[in-house]
Amino acid sequence: MDLLDCGEQEPALIGRRMLVATLAGSVLSQVVPAAHAQPDADALKAFIALSRFLTGRGELDADQARQLHEALHAQAGDFDADARALLVLIAERKLAIGRLQLTLDTEASRLAPLPRKIVSAWYTGIVGEDERARCVLFETSLMYAAVKDRLTPPSYCHGPHASWASPPG
């Protein structure tokens, strides 16, 4: 059969192809790990609330929060459930930020690494470690926001050529 022939058999071929594609998609959706699923809006809200608590900042950039959340979610499929569990634990036990990590570490909680991962992601802009490390934010990470009145991110020039060579006034 000529593939360019648009005769009577084409609808049957298209129908079979659609059936095969649909079945393949159904099978793949069952096989692909949940870690690759997109996080939901409620999970993002929980992440932002937890991030505000952990960083001590009342306002965090929504787009940056989305990017970090997606990266953390992609690294660990149970990230959203753990973030919600940590929020519940903080609320139920009325844990202050100064006692949170000590409490989690002392109790050998499975949630103990989570605050460090989130704060590290916000301040460095990097999610993951070693081969799995991924730079999500750079010049907008919180480590640069904390000193933005005096320093610029490396590789960013804050004045005209050679302005850094003049001694401070």
Would you state the pLDDT for residue 34?
A: 46
- Cα–Cα separations (whole angstroms), residue 80 to 2, 39, 43, 54, 73: 52, 8, 6, 16, 7
pLDDT digits (tens, 9 = 90+) for 28-54: 445 454 444 555 889 999 999 999 999
The pTM of the full predicted model, rounded to 2 decimals, is 0.67
The two three-digit tokens of residue 6, written as one number: 């648009």
Interaxial angle between packed helices 113-124 and 41-55, expressed in degrees from 0 to 180 and rounded to the nearest 10: 80
- Would you list the domain boundaries of the chain? 36-145
What's the rounded mean pLDDT across residues 116-140? Answer: 89
- The SS3 call for residue 9 is coil
pLDDT digits (tens, 9 = 90+) for 86-95: 999 999 999 9
What is the CB neighbour count within 10 angstroms for residue 44? 18
Q: What's the pLDDT score for residue 50?
A: 95
Query: Residue 126's closest CA among 140, 138, 139?
Result: 138
The H or E element containing residue 126 is: strand 126-127
**In the chain, what percentage of residues exceed pLDDT 90?**
44
Residue type, 68: L
> Amino acid identity of 123?
Y
